[in-house]
Amino acid sequence: MRYLLFICSVLLIISCKQESNQVNPKVLNHTETEEEISIEGIQETQKFWNQLKTLCGKSFEGQLILPENDKDFGGKHLVMHVRSCEENRIRIPFFVGDDKSRTWVLTYSDSRIQLKHDHRHKDGRSDEITMYGGTTTNSGQATIQVFPADQETKKMISAAASNVWWITLDDKEYTYNLRRLGTDRVFRVVFDLTKEIETPDEPWG
């Protein structure tokens, strides 16, 4: 009888170990999958950043898509100039006719990209409303990065708390977009990357 109980105990222990061994690979595989997703995400962000850097020094003409007949942008010559490309920072002046006050500043850090809007006066002084924007909350995709308004922007422009900017990028087009959630405010300009144009003068500041 004792021998029978001993055998049953051994079988029970073996059975438990087998069940444990069957669970552990699943846990390990789940962890590995998360790591793979994380690596893939970093690669997506890096691809976007590398693609943007290939445009450094080049200028392109843009077309306003929305809003139609905008009083500030409609009918004006729109140009983006990828003026400077540091390892983790890219500056892109955005010229609207003779207005050279705007520069998009993108900063890459910890697999996230930050977008800020540097506004200047003709004499180079910073505008009262400047350096607003946001940082991507995930790795995005190689062709699009999304920037919800950050806390600094909310403090600076309370109405812009629900702003969401996004940039799309491929071999043919670069688009800059804005949507203020909960309102009708929308902005979209498309730049043709297949036709490089002459580099404009320096931006203000």
- pLDDT category, 42, cuts 50, 70, 90? confident
Nearest partner of 105 among 120, 116, 95, 113, judged by Cα: 116
Q: Which residue has the higher pLDDT, 13 or 198?
A: 198
- pLDDT category, 171, cuts 50, 70, 90? very high
pLDDT for residue 90 = 98
Q: Which residue has the higher pLDDT, 38 or 104?
A: 104
pLDDT for residue 115 = 99
The bridge status of strand 89-96 relative to strand 112-119 is unpaired
- The chain-wide mean pLDDT, for the chain, equals 86
- CA separation (Å) from 58 to 38, 53, 126? 32, 10, 25
Residue 18 scores a pLDDT above 80: no
Cis peptide bond upstream of 25, omega within 30: no
Give tens-digit pLDDT for 172-182: 999 999 999 99
Give tens-digit pLDDT for 84-109: 999 999 999 999 999 999 999 999 99
Domains of the chain (ranges, CATH numbers): 52-197 (2.40.128)
- pLDDT category, 29, cuts 50, 70, 90? very low
